[in-house]
Structures are given as C-alpha cells and as structure tokens.
Amino acid sequence: MTQTLLLKNARVIATMDDDQREIGNGYILIRGNRIEAVGPMAECPNEADRTINLEGHVVVPGLINTHHHMFQSLTRALPAAQNGELFDWLSALFPVWRNITPAMQRAASRTAMAELMLSGCTTAADHAYLHVNGITLDDSVQAATEMGIRFHGARGAMSLGQSQGGLPPDELVEADESAILRDMQRVVEAHHDHSPDAMVRIALAPCSPFTVTTELMREAATMARSLNVGLHTHTAENWKDVAFSKERYGMTPTEFTEDVGWVGNDVWHAHCVHLDDPGIALFAHTGTGVAHCPCSNMRLASGIAPVRKMLDAGVKVGLGVDGSASNDTGNLLDEARLAMLSARVREQNPGDMTAREALRMATRGGAEVLGRGDALGRIQPGYCADIVAFRTDDIAMAGGQSDPIASLVFCTPPRVDWSIINGRVVIEDGELLTRSLPHIIEEQNRIAASLAD
C-alpha cells in the first residue's frame, strides 16, 4: 500500500493554484510523492500512515531556485572581490577558482544545497561552468542525491580564453569545443530524467557570450533540442556585458540571443538586468524564461532588472540566488523579499511588486521557467509533494499575524521548519535530516581556508 502523509491544522496554506486559493486552518494529504488532496480541516481525512501537526505554520509550495553557481560558496566575501563590478569581480576570483577540485566541488554543492533547503527551497538549478582538475557535472549530481533536493544541473562551459578575446584566463577554459559537446551529451544520457516527477534533469549551458564562441552557442542549442533538454546562459547582466556583445558581435545581447537560436520555451536566461524593450517583447513572444537574481545584481552594482515590465509583457520570470560569491548567501526566501523591494525602488512605486507576486515568482514562476509548471510550484492534487512550512511564532514574524503569507516576504526571512521534497521529509523542526549540518559547515570552512591561502 502506498504510504500516506497527512499535514493538518496549518494556519494558512498558500496553494498558488489558478484560483490563488489561500486556505485557513487547512490540511494536505500526500500519497507517495504526489499531493492527493488539499482543503479546510472540516474536510480532512481521519487517518494516514503519518500525521504532522502544522498548527501555527504558514505553508507554501517548495521554493524553486532557477540560477546558481554552487562552487562559489567556497569563496564568499573574498577581500579582493568585495568591491568589484562583474568583470573585475570575475577577474579577482578566476585565479582562486583554478584550484578547485572535484571533492571541493561536492562539498561546496552540499553547502549551497543545505543553505537553500533551510530557506525553503526544494528545487535548485546549478549553472556549473567550472571544469578544471577533473570536475564534472557528476559531482554536483552526486551532492544533490545525497542532500535529497530536486536538481536541475546545467552543464556549463567556458571556451573563449583571454588569448581569443574572452574574459577568462586560458587555463580556466575548455579549449576543445567538440569535447565539451561530447561531455554535454554524456551527462544528459547519464542523468537526465524526462518523467514529470524527475529528481534530476540536465540542461546545456554555455556560460555567456564573453566566455564561449558563437559556434558553441549554436551547436549546444542544436544538441539540446535533439536531446529534448533545456538551455541556459547569462544575458545582459551589466553594461560591460552589453558593450562586449556590441563590440565583438556587432549586436545587442537581444539580437545576439535571437541570432544563435537561444529563444523558446526550452530556454531561460539569467539576470537580464539590461534587457531592452525589443528583448522583452522577444522573450514574451517566444516563451523564453528569465532567472531574476536581485541580490547579486545589487551586490555587483549591475543594476535593477525591469521585472515589472517583463511580467506585464508576459515573460516567464523565476528567482535565482546566483553564485554564493556574488551574493554571499543562498537564501531563496530572502531573494523573494529583495525582488519585491528592488522592483519598488526601480520605479519608486510600492505597487510595482506585491508580496504575493514575489512569492509566486519563487514558486510557480520558477517552475514555469524550468519547464516544470505541470508538476511543481503549486499545492494542488496531482502535483509533486514539494511543500514547506514556516512557524508563525518566530521572532521574525512577531506582530505580523494579520497576514502571515505577506509577512514571509515583508519580514526577516525565517528558517524553514518543515520541508518535504518528493513526498520525503528532509527537514523536521528546523533540522536537516539528510546530512549532518555541522559536518557540512566544518568541511566547507576547512576547504575554503585552504583555497584562500
């Protein structure tokens, strides 16, 4: 008999369904890895194999992170990179990243995943473009399996070194683009799961126009579509990024994106801080997604993305924490808060982003961007059982009881109290169950210290 899990007495459930239902004093019944029923306690079933009392909790769909560079959690707040914009910041970090090993990659990924999970994230995409010293995407997949997080691994690449006019040092790039493409196909065949409830999916992700050639962008797009997997890259992140595209390719980032075939429902672009009006229209028309990373954009002084304009045009927008060296944290609930605040600042209009709109981007929006809108991002019968619950009696929400859903976004983001991923409890009473958090932290600090020496 399939195991059942009953979540009952929730203070309020934000379903994120098409009717935007918010159910006070509600329950959720999970059978196996799927949601079977959700509703008010008056309709709650009497029995289940396990019951969890969520009295005093606000419950939302698991948050979805659409962009990260998990290896960067080893180099947070590095002094040489603290005050640089994107290109200077990268130039300061490249020499340090040259020394990262596969074991370090796995440790950094476990740290990044634990931090995400404790903020309420249940699905995470990692743009893994560093392939030195034997690092492969398999290292990240292994870490995700250990942690129990739903994972979208984006096999990134850098092939355009400084000697060819790119930004990365030659020793950090993979010069053989045919070898890159072969490995991209290998990791898809080894790890990608096409099923609706897949725990691991793979995307192809040349890093950015200033790190790869036009030929690799085009060939990766062709390969991804032949394998039926997604495509991911950075676009229009800051003014230097825009200037590079115009100087090298004679096109705006939007024009370049369309020229190499990187638009469509299977594509999502990170940052898009300087996406112009034609680009917004193109993304809306083609179903191309955006991973909005407000903290990183502000940390690197890249600017504030025109998210309100994107949403109004019909662009799919999700949230990303970006690399933990460009935001120095990995809290996805905090990213929702910053998305709301930065949207208001951009046009000096508080109405430009509500708390519920920000929360929607963190859940349904992210699912749509990753091509998982039919299975993730909602608390709805038939959807995957990815559900998180936050205590409303935390100090962060004291005094915010009149609207606990909005308080999740307006107030200091609390640590998640319960997290269920694919029907499995992975965080209970605020404690990570899948790996020892003290061990993760100790290992991370020891490795990071060795890199900084």
What per-residue confidence (pLDDT) applies to 1?
41
- Sequence-distant (≥ 6) Cβ neighbours of residue 178 within 8 angstroms: none
The residues of the chain scoring below 70 in pLDDT are 1-2
Measured at the CA of 222, the angle between CA 219 and CA 225, to 5 degrees, comes to 145
Tokens at residue 392, please?
């409303």
- Cα–Cα distance, 178 to 185 (Å, whole number): 11
CA 392, distance to chain mean position in Å, is: 25
Q: How far apart are CA 21 and CA 13, in angstroms?
A: 8
φ, ψ dihedrals at 292, nearest 5°: -85, 125
pTM of the model: 0.97
Supply the DSSP string of 281-306, one letter for each residue: HHHHHHT-EEEE-HHHHHHTT-----
CA distances from 240 to 37, 89, 424 (A): 50, 12, 44
**Among 13, 53, 58, 65, which Cα is nearest to 35's?**
13
Closest to 232 in 3D by CA, of 204, 192, 255, 274: 204
Q: Residue 244 and residue 80: Cα distance in Å, rounded?
A: 24
What is Dmax (Cα atoms) for the chain? 69
- In this prediction, residue 347 carries a pLDDT of 87
The pLDDT value given to residue 324: 85
According to the model, what pLDDT value does residue 428 have? 98
Alpha-carbon gap, residue 187 to 201, rounded angstroms: 10
In sign, the C-alpha dihedral spanning 104, 108, 114, 120 is negative
> In 3-state terms, what secondary structure has residue 232?
strand
Contacts of 17 by beta carbon, 8 Å cutoff, 6+ apart: 378, 379, 380
Locate 281 and state its tokens.
């229209």
d(CA 122, CA 131): 26
Read off the DSSP letter of residue 384.
B
